[in-house]
Structure 1
Amino acid sequence: MTNTGEQTVTNAVVLFEASNPNVSPLEPEVAIGSLEPGASAEFAFDIEVSDAAEAGPRQFTLRVQYRDPEGTQRTGDPIDAPAAVAEERDEFAVSVVNGSLEAGGGGTLTLEVTNNRETAVREVSAKLFLDAPLSSSDDEGYIDELAPGETKEVTFDLSMAGSAIVGKKYPASVDFRYETSEGDTLISDTYRVPVRAIAASGGGFPLGLIGVVALVVVGLVGAVYVRRNR
């Protein structure tokens, strides 16, 4: 905002006006203080856009309220402020770095997490949600901070039951609790990632199958013992 007049103005406040119910400022006014002739000041509004809004150009109105050198409060003429509503996008982008586990075994699930927001986030706590045949004794991860566009990894310990079908992909879900640069604590949408079951290395049997074989062997030994004592 630039003072194009010939007098210093004081207590200048920029007012945001919007008639669209799907677009609203978190605070409708921003104070910029005093401006001498020719002086400029930057300001910004945090705008909340509802899910019902459609992407595309918008026209908003700004007004400047101020006091002249005599102390009289005045309001300037309306100023057109064109802006655009972008397509909806997730707060984060999540991709799998390491997502294969041996059936009947355990390992790690490593995810890459990218901050899609235009501002930094911090205290990012990841929570993993699983269904059989997947399980975990360590289903939480943590990232201290993510700048806009920055990517970091988060890792979880996973187990894959022996009943898993080799070659099949099983879904895992993760969401994020995080703090914005304004100090607000939010919870993201839930993201689904695939975890693939692979054959045990070395041609071994899955753990579930080993348990069945062991029971059969014990049964045979018992049968032999009974026959010998008849």
Structure 2
Amino acid sequence: MTKRNLKWYAQWFDTKYYHILYKDRDYEEAQLFMKNLANFLDLENNAKVLDLACGRGRHSIYLHKLGFEVLDTDLSKNSIEFAKQHEQPGLAFRVQDMSQALDEKFHAVFNLFTSFGYFENEENNLDTLKAIKAELEPGGYGVIDFMNVHKVIKNLVAKNTKTVEGIEFHLQRWVENNFIFKQIDFKDHKEDFLFIERVRAVTLKDFKNYFDKAGIQLINVFGDYHLQDFDEEKSDRLILIFQ
């Protein structure tokens, strides 16, 4: 069965195969980033943090351990259902479209691990930034952790195969109409599957244009989870701190 949907993220992220393919994500690296970020932003104990597009909550679970009150939202019902096993006072999970502002205020709003630029309509990306701004307490900080598209495109691997839990995933990547695509096809229990990830190739310049339109002030730009300066040629990440 072939799986296709314009809203690819709503479908692909809701499958077990997404989590199988990416099961080797580095939890220690995620915790290091959260610790460095919390220290840099000087967030007080019990500060309210919103984690947008949280997935199964690997960042937010650690943020709660650091002493913050964390609300996590994601469009994937299955991811939120899985994450709810970790719910406790000060840590909650909710299904929500990140382009629609919550009627709550937070000291920090995080959008992590390239969870931006999924929308077909570019206006929805701007809506997401406007929503983040509306969700921030006065003096609060927004954070977007995105890929460095310049380096990603320059080093794009056109094809490779990855075997996880006995499933052979065939991956193809290309750039088209300012989007970076990844096609994922595989077979499981004699059934064929195909999914396509698509992320807009948003550069630092593009983000600055978005911020201007949303009335957002860019404060800092970092290039890795140690919060080193951003270098377009060398940095793996594009981490934006704004208000």
TM-score, structure 2 normalization? 0.22
Between structure 1 and structure 2, the one with the greater Rg is 1
* Structure with the higher fraction of residues in helix conformation: 2
* Structure with the higher fraction of residues in strand conformation: 1
Task: Select the structure with the greater relative contact order (CA < 8 A; seq sep ≥ 6).
Answer: 2
